[in-house]
Homo-oligomer: A and B are copies of this chain.
Amino acid sequence: MVNIVDVRDVVVPIRSDIRNAYIDFSTMTVSVIALITDVVHEGRPVVGFGFNSNGRYAPQGLLRERFIPRLLEAARTDPGTLLDESGTNLDPDAIWHVLMRNEKPGGHGERSVAVGALDMAVWDATAKIAQVPLWRLLSDQSHGGDAVPRVFVYAAGGYYYPGETHTALVDEMRSYLDRGYSVVKMKIGGAPLDEDLRRIEAVVDGVLGGDAGRLAVDANGRFDLRTAVRYAEALAPMGLRWYEEPGDPLDYHLHNALSGGYAGPLATGENLFSHQDARNLIRYAGMRSDRDILQFDPALSYGLVEYFRTLDMLAEHGWSRHRCIPHGGHQMALNVAAGLGLGGCESYPDVFAPFNGFADHIAVEDSRVELPEEPGLAMETKAELYSTVLKPLAESP
């Protein structure tokens, strides 16, 4: 019988001198989880690691007030409720239901981040106990082993740095191409439209050889309908990769109105944190299953257990998984993309260190990245993250 013997958490900053159209990130924090099991591999306990994705704050209070105590209480009093039928591994779905005991429906924010971070640690531990990479565990469960462990990734950046000039923006974007990305994303909406258009032109002409199909733009939910339409009219002739989160994430009416007039792909979903919210997007926002991009981030949204529900809902509505490219730039999204056959995942080459990027020893090539063969989420393959954050937490008394 496997069991969970401890769950530790720590808050670390992901300090960054960036801002998007909505917030600045200088005070952003991340909760990191170490889930200690009593399984021993090669003389050491198997430890699952998790953390919350960027854009929301470390949910330490929620973790310590409700979710970690519920999990440890179950581990102490009724450990069988946390395990699969064989009793030899954890059951992420069963653990999810323990975490969500006595939680009311609706109100999907903050607690979805706490549960998402714990779910990540649970899946990491589960795959490590099974001694396979998570992407392979998922692939074996869902696809009969036909996963292609080579995932489309794009470089998200192009923020409004203090004192930014077009030269700095162009240099930043060029550096992503130098590092193997061929598709990049930049922020819009933090400057007037004509200045944003100049910034876009500088990148398309100065970096992408005139190919706007390799550039996505992201308004971070800032626009009202009038502004969103004004931008859409200006952006439409360019043929951009996609136009992301033009309006408030819950304003399905705005998205629906925009869908009618903007022929290019729209992308949204990183600020919808449950399958019910995702379902409302699909029901009401006029999203087009032949082109639009869905960016739900499992690490902000009650984890992979909930993400399965979202994928089931999408299938019922006739959407392919290829239209899903999760927000977040973390190993969890990468493993889910590889293991479940999503359309790709986001990457932040220059921000949110040391939580950004993928395995140190695997380079991005032509905007694709291979997955490592190490078990679990393979966060141990990121030396700085492992040595400065994960290892000290796992080995703390």
Residues of A within 8 A of B (CB): 22-24, 27, 55-62, 64-66, 102-112, 220-221, 248-253, 271-274, 276-277, 279-280, 283-284, 300
Across the interface, do B271 and A105 meet the contact criterion of CB distance under 8 Å?
yes
A276: which of B107, B250, B276 is its contact (CB, 8 Å)? B250
Bound complex: CA of A66 vs CA of B61, how far in Å? Answer: 11
Copies of this polypeptide in the complex: 2
Tell me the smallest distance from the CB of A63 to a CB of chain B, in Å.
8
A107: which of B102, B104, B110, B283 is its contact (CB, 8 Å)? B110
* Chain B, Cβ-Cβ closest to A252: B280
Across the interface, do B60 and A106 meet the contact criterion of CB distance under 8 Å?
no
A55: which of B56, B104, B252 is its contact (CB, 8 Å)? B104
Across the interface, do A105 and B248 meet the contact criterion of CB distance under 8 Å?
yes
Main secondary structure, interface of A, reads loop
Beyond A27-B102, A60-B61, A105-B271, 11 additional pairs, beta carbon < 8 A? A58-B65, A105-B248, A105-B250, A106-B221, A107-B109, A108-B250, A109-B112, A110-B110, A251-B276, A252-B283, A280-B280
Indicate whether A66 sits within 8 Å of B62 (C-beta atoms), given known contacts A106-B273, A271-B104, A271-B105.
no
Across the interface, do A112 and B107 meet the contact criterion of CB distance under 8 Å?
yes
Across the interface, do B57 and A61 meet the contact criterion of CB distance under 8 Å?
no
Across the interface, do A249 and B105 meet the contact criterion of CB distance under 8 Å?
yes
Q: What residues of B have a CB within 8 angstroms of the CB of A66 in the complex? A: 57
Q: Could you say which of A66, A107, A276, A280 has the most chain B C-beta atoms within 10 Å of its C-beta?
A: A107
Shortest Cβ-Cβ A-B pairs, 8 listed? A61-B61, A107-B109, A106-B271, A110-B110, A106-B249, A109-B109, A250-B276, A23-B102
Q: What residues of B have a CB within 8 angstroms of the CB of A59 in the complex? A: 61
Q: What residues of B have a CB within 8 angstroms of the CB of A64 in the complex? A: 61
Indicate whether A280 sits within 8 Å of B284 (C-beta atoms), given known contacts A107-B271, A110-B110.
yes
* Chain B, Cβ-Cβ closest to A110: B110
Tell me the smallest distance from the CB of A54 to a CB of chain B, in Å.
10
* Chain B, Cβ-Cβ closest to A274: B250
Bound complex: CA of A66 vs CA of B11, how far in Å? Answer: 13
